[in-house]
Structure 1
Amino acid sequence: MRNNRHSDFDLCNATSRGIIQPLHVIHHCKMSSFRFARSALRARPSFLGAPVQRRGYAEAVADKVKLSLTLPHQTIYRSTGVTQVNIPAASGEMGVLANHVPSIEQLKPGLVEILEESGATKQYFLSGGFAVVQPDSQLSINAVEGFALEDFSADAIRAQIAEAQKISSGSGSEQDIAEAKIELEVLETLQAHVK
């Protein structure tokens, strides 16, 4: 024996296909849709109802980014308190301060600028890598290669650019040309930062 009662889905589905259109069925379908929306409101994260955190002046001054800058062969910074770090994220240049929103950023080859607590600025050129900003103001930067910007010679960079241009426009192997183009891109970025 067939049940005469239709499920919500059957009624709403039949209405949307134009099979039946009584007013009470259309109203029922709209109300079913709102039921899902109401359940989503009840399931909102608990932090939305949490009180706003307040900080005092003395605490705000003490806020620093704990920077770890690591290469496979060397640790340049290890949980060192710094004021700000500017990174060359693939999504665009990005400044990281204390209490920054947590994120993971892929780094393109470029300049990492570190403003230390003393006010001094250190600059490192990285080959690329990843930066992870954690909720407790920790920033971890991992790169394959990185050097202090002051260690580069503008003359040596120009010579390497000329060599890479010769290879990339030559008749070498496909792999050699591709590698030369990548090298050229990195060197041109480096040249823009070296004075």
Structure 2
Amino acid sequence: MSGARRGYAAAAEKLKLSLVLPHQALFTSADVVQVNISAATGDMGILAEHVPSIEPLRPGVVEVIEATGEAPKKFFVSGGFATVHPNNLLTINAVEAAPLEDIAPEAVRANLAEAEKVLAGNGSEADKMEAEIESEVYTAIQFALQK
């Protein structure tokens, strides 16, 4: 049997990553080996030759494994979209992102407790909806920090 076959991406193959926020670009067409995302349908790893797709992101970690062999870079994103384009291009548009190592666990615990207090209280429906979102995000951050 001759011809090309699709398989696990070879180490020599690179993915061009652009990770952008409304106010800045964290990566712009950077050569990376793999990107792991928290998609709405579940966690997934993206390598070169990935099938084109659009994935909504849930609050969670975007892990970038660069070709340099350095430790992976981990960012907590509040949500957004990952678009896998043909020709090994990946664009991630996120509303907010922060390096995981910059997040203080104590602040996360305090903010989560405050959101849960609002949810349990007699606040307005709008306050409770906002607290529900905050609770979801802070719970996801807390989970990411425990890994």
Same fold, TM-score > 0.5, yes or no: yes
Matched to 1:153, the amino acid is: A
CA-CA distance at 1:150 after TM superposition: 0.7
Give 3-state SS (helix, strand or coil) of 2:32's partner: strand
Q: String of CA shifts for 1:14-51, please: whole Å, max 9, x gaps.
A: xxxxxxxxxxxxxxxxxxxxxxxxxxxxxxxxxxxxx8
Q: String of CA shifts for 1:161-183, please: whole Å, max 9, x gaps.
A: 11111111110100101110110
User: 1:162 maps to what in 2?
Assistant: 113
- Tell me, in whole angstroms, the C-alpha distance in 2 between the residues paired with 1:182 and 1:61: 39
Unaligned runs of 5+ in 1: 1-50
Greater radius of gyration (CA): 1
Matched to 1:178, the amino acid is: M
Matched to 2:77, the amino acid is: L
Which of residues 41, 44, 55 in structure 2 aligns to 1:94?
Answer: 44
User: 1:106 maps to what in 2?
Assistant: 56
The answer on whether the counterparts of 2:22 and 2:95 sit within 8 Å (CA) in structure 1 is yes
Q: How does 1:5-154 map to 2 (within 5 A)?
A: 52-53=3-4, 60-120=10-70, 121-154=72-105
CA-CA distance at 1:52 after TM superposition: 3.6
Matched to 2:74, the amino acid is: Q
- Tell me, in whole angstroms, the C-alpha distance in 2 between the residues paired with 1:157 and 1:103: 32
CA-CA distance at 1:54 after TM superposition: 6.3
Greater fraction strand: 2
Unaligned runs of 5+ in 2: none
Give 3-state SS (helix, strand or coil) of 1:118's partner: coil
Greater fraction helix: 1
Matched to 2:30, the amino acid is: T
Percent of matched pairs sharing the same residue: 54
The question of 1:175 aligning with 2:104 is answered: no
Count the aligned residue pairs. 141
CA-CA distance at 1:119 after TM superposition: 1.8
User: RMSD of the alignment, in Å?
Assistant: 1.5
Runs of 4+ off more than 2 Å: 51-55
